[in-house]
Amino acid sequence: MGGIASIGVPGLIIILVIVLILFGPRKLPEVGSAVGKTLSEFKRSAKDIMDDDEDKVRKEELGEKK
């Protein structure tokens, strides 16, 4: 399946309406900020994991060449 990347504009509008109903217009900026910070931290962690894996592969390749 396509996952989150295939939600599209109508899906995002529906999600926004549901969040607006659940939290109200006053809480919406707080919720948006929290979601943004969470996604940012997730992306940073995923990048760190990928970088660590690449470093490990490079070290293994250098060890094999010796």
CA distance 42 to 9: 23
Q: Judging by beta carbons within 10 Å of its beta carbon (0-12, 13-18, 19+), is residue 62 exposed, middle or buried? A: exposed
Q: What are phi and psi of 7, to 5 degrees?
A: -65, -50
pTM of the prediction? Answer: 0.54
Per-domain residue ranges of the chain: 25-66
Which pair of tokens denotes residue 49?
A: 């994991």
7-58 per-position pLDDT tens digit: 788 888 898 889 889 888 888 888 889 988 998 999 999 899 888 888 887 8
Give me 2's structure tokens.
């396509």
Q: Enumerate the H helices of the chain as residue ranges.
A: 8-65
Q: What is the pLDDT of residue 53?
A: 80
Q: Is the pLDDT of residue 3 over 70?
A: no
Nearest in space to 15 (alpha carbons), one of 26, 4, 1, 2: 4
